[in-house]
Every structure is written in C-alpha cells, then in structure tokens.
Structure 1
Amino acid sequence: MDNQFCLNVSGIPKELSLIIELLKSINSGDVQTSNRELLLDIDWNLFINQAAHHRVYPLLYSKLKMMDEHVIPAYVIQSLHQEYKRNTFHMLHLSAEMERVAKLFTEEQIQLLCLKGPVLAHELYGDISLRTSGDLDVLIPIKKLEQAERILASLGYEKDDYIQTVLNDWKWRHHHVTYIHPRKMIKIEIHWRLNPGPGKEPSFNKLWERKRRSELTSYPVYLLGKEDLFMFLVSHGARHGWSRLRWLLDIHQMMNQEMDWKKVYQLLNYYHYIPVGGQSIVLSSQLLNTKVTKEMSSLLVSKRPRELAQEAIFYLETMINLHTDPVPEDVARYHTRHLFSLMSAQQKFFFIISFLYPYPEDAETLPLPTKLHFLYFPLRPFLWAWRKSRKDVLRRGENNETPLILFKADTFFCWKKALCEPFGNSVHEFT
C-alpha cells in the first residue's frame, strides 16, 4: 500500500478518536495515549456511549482499569466495568446454549457451523469476555431448515417470522431467519447463506470440508476455516459500513494470526471480494496500526480499496445504527450508494437483473392465485411503477385517485429509474 496515503478522519468525533487511540495502545501493549490533546474537553458520557455503540467496552475496560484515574475519570472506568461484567455473564450463557444446540443438531444429523458468538470471540481473542455478541449465528444446509426449526421449537424458541416471500425468493434474497427464546432472552440466527443474495458464495459442503473445531467447548463445535472466516468477516463488515469498530477489531485480530494469504486472495478473487478485502486492510492498518505484510499486498494493488475505505469513514462520524428504524434519510441514501459501490461489475449486473424477479410487494399490489404467480414476471415493472406513482401523488398531497394518463406516462420512467437507482427499497433488505 502507498505509504503516502492517509485516510481523512477529520470528521470523526473527538471521543471516538480517543477510543481509537486507546485501542492502538492496547494493541501495542502500552495503555498510555501518546496524543495528550485528545484528552482535552472530552465529553465522557459521549465517550461511554461511543464505546457501547461500537461494542468495544470489554477491550477498553481490560486495559483502562490499569490506567491512572487522573487520565480517565473513575466513573467512566466503573461504567465500563459494569458493562464488562454483564457481557461476561452473557457470553458464558451463550456458550452453554451454543454447546447445547450444537449437540442436539448433531444428534439429529444436522451439520452446523458457528459464524460468530462466543466461538468467534475465543478464536480471535482467546477470551470470550473480550468480545461482545448479541446472539448466536450458525450456518446449516438449507434443506435442514424445517428440521432445525422443529428442534428449536422443542427447546422453547419462537420464530421471528418477518420474511415475506413470493415464488420462493426468500432462498436467495434473504440469508437467515431469527428465533428468540422468551425466557432465556437468547436469539439464534439460523443462516443458510453467508450473505444475502444475489451473489456467488461457497456451498455449505465446501465450507464444511474446510471447517475447524473450536477449542472453547468440550462437545465438538465447528467454525469456518480461517480463510473462509476472513472472507465472511470482511463481507459482513463491509455490508454494514464498518459502522462498529468491533468488526474492524476482528479483522485486526485475524491479520495478526497465521493465515494462508494466497488462499485468501484466491477466495476473494473468485467470489468478487478483492476490493472489500482491501478496504478492510486499509481501515485496520490506518485506524488500528495493524501491520500490513508483503503477503497481503496483492489485495491493495488498485486504488479502489482506499476509496472504499474513505467512504466507510462516513459511518464513524456519527453513531449510525442501520438496524434501528427509522434510519435517517440521508444515511439510508448514502448507504444504498455505498453498498452498490462495493460490488464488482458482475455483482452489479446480477443485482440489477434481480429487480426483474417479483417481490412480495407485487403480490400485495395485485393478489393472484398461487398457480398464476408466474405472471408477476411480466407484470413487475407495471406494478412497481403503479406503487411509485401512487406514493408520489400522496406525497404531493393530491387525492387518492391517480389519473390513468399519469400512470401510463410514468410507467417507463419509473421502471428505468428502478434499474438506474438500485437499492430503491428499504435499506434493511440489504443489511
């Protein structure tokens, strides 16, 4: 990577800049921040909120507790300590549940791969208390979904059935379904894909062949092979704009581990993630001082990873949460454009083509018997344009009667706009 290149981080709040500086010192083993100016005029309540938003309070507390209280106020350390303890108990709780679920799935001959959760924390940090996890994410073969649901239901889990579908588009447009245990307050996400489609990714069988056994549990629990895990983490973090530093810290930890970077390059190249992989390396090296080795340089040949890394700084300038409605309009607009910029030419082509495939909204607009659902293919542009024109009329405050002439005039324009402005739907469909 060009040593002259530097990310423009001037828009990052001072409180987050201090957190990043402290994380750098944590990485080097020295917890004293070298930039004393960062300690001036800090809003410590905002500092705590930033640490919570970015899910980095376990690492911060583990080191800051040893610092002079004159540097960091005592109440800040105490607040981080409370969150650290809460997270430790939560991770132990998740670990026990993960082992229990894995055992039941194995007994029912369902192959299961852990994607995140305590298994990832142990793999990357060697200590489950040093990383947060809100839920358990596991990957299974799609043909085993119904069987997995029966097992989880027998354990008391309830399905969060938010997915609407037509013509089985859920199989590729979505990538997981959520189950919640109301008493244990545990959420499990059952994945059948690593990422939402359309997009090429390794088959479950390929991932299973390259699996590794976790050393966290006594009962065999498996996770992705290192190179597959790196590809998954960079694609996941990029898809969320690296809006939480926790995801970038995961990349930092992986870059410091033994890995076959030739295999990493081959995987990322085959599945069109080279720029995304390079983006993660640029962000980690520039923000966290992660060492970039010669073996990683093949991911940084072009300028695109740097451009994408600079785009991602937008998500650090405010505490952006893409999963909480309502997502501010300016953020949603920026995020849809950024997601499109992450794609390769082939990925963009298939994404735009996917707009030709019917959406559940089409069935809501014009309900048809199941046997006639194939008609949604030729009808899709007209149904989309109709919804668009109705929204435009309501936005202008006109009455509910949309003139037929207006509909016909807008049909071609709206459909063309749909192709030229991808991500026209809710941002949540792509996160």
Structure 2
Amino acid sequence: MKMDTWEMPAARVVVSLFRDLLHGRAERARALLRETDPRLVAQACKRHKCCALLHWLLQKNGIQLDGFLGDYLRSAFFANWTRNRELLLIWNEVASALEVEACRPLAWKGLSLASRVFGNLACRRISDLDVIVPREKLSEAGRVLERLGYRYHSRSLGRSPIGLRWAHAVEFQREDGQKVDLHHALRRHPTFKLASPSLWEHSERWEIGENFYAVPGPEDTLLGLLLELQDDIGRGGSHLRVLVDLWFTLEANRGIDWEQFLEARRAERTDLVVLNGLTMFMILTEGREHFPALQTFLGNNRLQILPVGEDEALRLFCNRTWSYGKLWAWRQYRCSLWRACLEWMISLPFRLAAFGRIKNRAS
C-alpha cells in the first residue's frame, strides 16, 4: 500500500484510529494498532504532521506503545518540544518589536493552538510563525521584520494592493531559514466580507510560554480553522491535525450560539464554508453524540454541498486529485463556478508571490 497516494484503505484506518482516541475508545484503538502495520501509521502521521499529536492522544488514553512506532512518536514529541521552545524565544522577539514599533499583533495557528487547545507546546509541529496584524499596518510591520533580519522575497506582486485582494498573508524569511507569515486576514477571497478589525475586538489574552499575548477569540479561531480546511482540500487534501484542532476547539467552546455564529458568517459570506466544513468534521469524527447542539444546528441548516457519507468525506479530505477538491471548494464561494475559476487564475501569481514562490531577479 503506497502512502504517497493516500489510498482509501489507509485513510480509513488512520482516521479511525484518531477518531477512537478522540472519543476515548482506548480498547478499540489498541485493537486497531495491533492489526495495522506500524510503518503505515508512522508514514501517515508524518504526511499529516501529527506524530506528536498521536503520541499525546495515546498518552491521554493511557496507551503506552513499545517498539518502532512508540519510539518514532516519542522522538517526534520531544523534538517538537525542543524546537518549539526555540520558536517561543523568536516569537517573543517578533511580538515585542511589533507591539513597540507597529501594532499589537495576534498570535495565530501553531504556538497559539498548542498553548490554548492542547496546553502543551510539544503537541504541534510548527515550522513557521504566524502573526496577524491590521492590513493598514502591514507595510509598517514588514519593515519591523526586515530590521530583525527577515527578508521578503517579492516586493512587488505579493504586497501590492491588488495582490492583497487574494493573499491573506506574506512570507518573510531569515538567512537561517526561519519564516514568519505576516497575516492581515484569516483568509482572502473577493466574495468574502471578513472584517479584520473584529479580530481585535473579540481577541483574548492568553499565556504562551511565560508571557501573555493577544490571540483571536474562540469564534474567529473556529472560522479560521474551517477556512483552512476548505483551502487545503481545494489544494489537494487536508491534514488530520485540522480535525484534532477542530475537536478540541469545539470541546472548549460548547457555549457557542450556533444560529448567531451562522448569522455572522452569512454577513461575511463564509456560511457555506462553515456549514460544509462542520459537516465533514462531524462525519469523519462521528461527533453527533459528542456535540449534540452542533448536530442539531447542522440538521436545521442543510445547505451542504458535501454528500452525507463517510466514503465521500474521506475522498475529499484525503484526495490527491487537484480538480476533485478544487471544485468542492469553489462551490462554497457565493459566486458561479466560472467566476470562481477566473478569480483563481487571476489570483495565482499574486498568491505565489506573497509566499516567495515568485522572486524578483534582484533577490
């Protein structure tokens, strides 16, 4: 079985393992691990950047693995701890400089989720630092990063007003390879009406390491994860860690008023993204009984593009076929498929430039 093609049997086994661990079904997880080639599990976790997460979930369920897989997962967990402590020092430097010289930044994704959702920096494999700043402060924040030794690859396309219509972040990199993604929005698309100032209005102070920093509020965090899920599937498949992120984010915020949440998303024109992402999440995690209020909400709002069935959800979530996921993602924009296709073609050079895939000759 070739894991690089992510065949359906492999997908079903590994998603089932994570699902059992999320539900606390330790005996079922043990049985599945006994029946499954440990190298298949290791390869899948490596591809989905969730080796340390699996180790953490196994420990949470009282499962101690020996042999190859146990050693592999433990080494990933402790490697994350070492690496992320170093990243925390870099984050402290970047956040402090931005707050003094430009604006109050929001910590996003890796370090933020590891601290808030899991309470352990080692749970997340983090390569880039993700920072959100107001769009009007983007250039100023970029200059702060440049003074800290970070370099932006493409000065023209990616940070132009036209480019920022599609690119939600721009990438900076130091000579040692460390990257900082400077976000001005959770995601960007011409059909979205996301109000970036609301990120700061609903932000919270959270302890990351030994200091407190601003992070997006629970509903903005949930929206960001669902937008990431849609975008990832549109680019050829998502990562299992997104399902785990969603699970623990939802578990920590059971008091969300779902109808009010959907009303806000309708105003932003992201409601189809939210409904389809949550539907896929509930199918793949079998979350109906664990999240009854969410299940009732989805039952009352059947605008799903996703056919209800595990096989279809798995094919979309783990697909390696560009067109299959792309069409699903495009249907969630409040526009025709033709317009979505045209917007994607126009946006491509700007998004590539924003993340350094297109470089100036002078670079």
Say if 1:334 and 1:298 are closer, same or farther in 2 by CA, change over 3 A: same
CA RMSD of aligned residues (A): 3.4
Name the structure, 1 or 2, with higher relative contact order (CA <8 Å, separation 6+).
Answer: 2
Equivalences for 1:58-97 in 2 at 5 Å?
58-64=52-58, 67=63, 69=65, 74-97=67-90
From 19, 24, 36, the counterpart of 1:24: 19
Alignment of 1:283-302 (within 5 A): 283-290=280-287, 291-294=290-293, 297-300=296-299, 301-302=301-302
CA contact (8 A) 2:52 2:73 kept: yes
The 5 Å alignment of 1:26-425 reads 26-33=21-28, 36=31, 39-40=34-35, 42-64=36-58, 67=63, 69=65, 74-161=67-154, 164=157, 168-183=161-176, 185-241=177-233, 243-258=238-253, 259-261=255-257, 262-290=259-287, 291-294=290-293, 297-300=296-299, 301-302=301-302, 304=304, 306-307=306-307, 312-317=313-318, 320=320, 331-345=321-335, 351=340, 354=343
Distance apart, 1:24 and its partner CA: 2.6
Q: Secondary structure at the match of 2:27?
A: coil
Once the two structures are aligned, what percentage of the paired residues are identical? 18
Q: Pick closer, same or farther for the CA change 1:158–1:306 going to 2, 3 Å.
A: same
| 1:365 aligned partner | none
Distance 1:34 1:168 in 2: 50
Per the TM alignment, residue 238 of structure 1 is displaced from its structure 2 partner at its CA by 1.3
C-alpha contact 2:150 2:173 (8 A) present in aligned 1? yes
Q: Deviation digits for residues 260-303 of structure 1, max 9, x if unmatched?
A: 22432222222223332222333332322332322553344215
* 3-state SS of 1:266 partner: helix
SS in 2 for 1:67: coil
In 2, Cα distance between equivalents of 1:166 and 1:61: 39
Shift in Å, 1:348: 5.7
Give the aligned residue type for 2:219.
E
**Is the Cα contact below 8 Å between 1:110 and 1:144 reproduced in 2?**
yes
Report the TM-score, using the length of structure 1 for normalisation. Answer: 0.69
TM-score, normalisation: structure 2: 0.80
- Are 1:279 and 1:309, in contact at CA under 8 Å, matched by a contact in 2? no
Post-superposition, which runs of at least 4 consecutive aligned residues in structure 1 deviate over 6 A? 355-361
Shift of 1:178: 0.5
What amino acid is the match of 2:269?
H
Structure 1 residues 256 and 302: CA distance shift in structure 2, 3 A: same
Cα pair distance change 1:122/1:165, threshold 3 Å: closer
Amino acid at match of 1:245: L
Deviation at 1:95, TM superposition (A): 2.0
1:376-419 Cα shifts (integer Å, max 9, x gaps): xxxxxxxxxxxxxxxxxxxxxxxxxxxxxxxxxxxxxxxxxxxx
CA shift digits 1:362-388 (9 cap, x unpaired): xxxxxxxxxxxxxxxxxxxxxxxxxxx
Amino acid at match of 2:199: L
In structure 2, do the counterparts of structure 1 residues 55 and 280 end up closer, same or farther at CA, with 3 Å as the change threshold? same
Structure 2 unaligned residues grouped into runs of 5+? 1-5, 356-363
Partners of 2:135 and 2:184 within 8 A in 1: yes
| Paired residues of 1:123 and 1:214 also in contact (CA < 8 A) | yes
**Displacement, 1:45?**
2.1
Structure 2 contact 17–29 (Cα < 8 Å) conserved: no
SS of the residue 2:278 aligns to? helix
Residue 42 of structure 2 aligns with an amino acid whose one-letter code is: I
Please name the residue that 2:358 is paired with: none
Counterpart of 2:164, as a letter, is: K
Could you say what secondary structure the match of 2:291 adopts?
A: coil
Amino acid at match of 2:63: M
Post-superposition offset of 1:315: 4.4
- Given that 2:316 and 2:325 are in contact with CA atoms closer than 8 Å, whether structure 1 keeps it comes out as no
Output one character per residue of 1:67-100: Cα deviation in whole Å (capped at 9) or x when no partner: 365xxx6111111111111112222222222222
Q: CA 1:88 to 1:35, structure 2 compared with 1: closer, same or farther past 3 Å?
A: closer
- Alignment deviations for residues 320-364 of structure 1 (CA, whole Å, 9 cap, x no partner): 4xxxxxxxxxx222233122122234x768646758979979xxx
- Over residues 209-250 of structure 1, what are the superposed CA-to-partner deviations in whole Å (9 max), with x where a residue is unaligned? 111111224444111111111111111111111610111111
Amino acid at match of 1:297: T
Counterpart in the other structure of 2:361: none
Distance in 1, Cα, partners of 2:206 & 2:116: 7
Structure 1 159/254 Cα, relative in aligned 2: closer, same or farther at 3 Å? same
Segments of 5+ residues of structure 1 without an aligned counterpart are 1-10, 321-330, 362-424
Distance 1:12 1:356 in 2: 29
Count how many residue pairs are aligned between Structure 1 and Structure 2: 338
SS in 1 for 2:181: strand
Equivalence for 1:419 = none
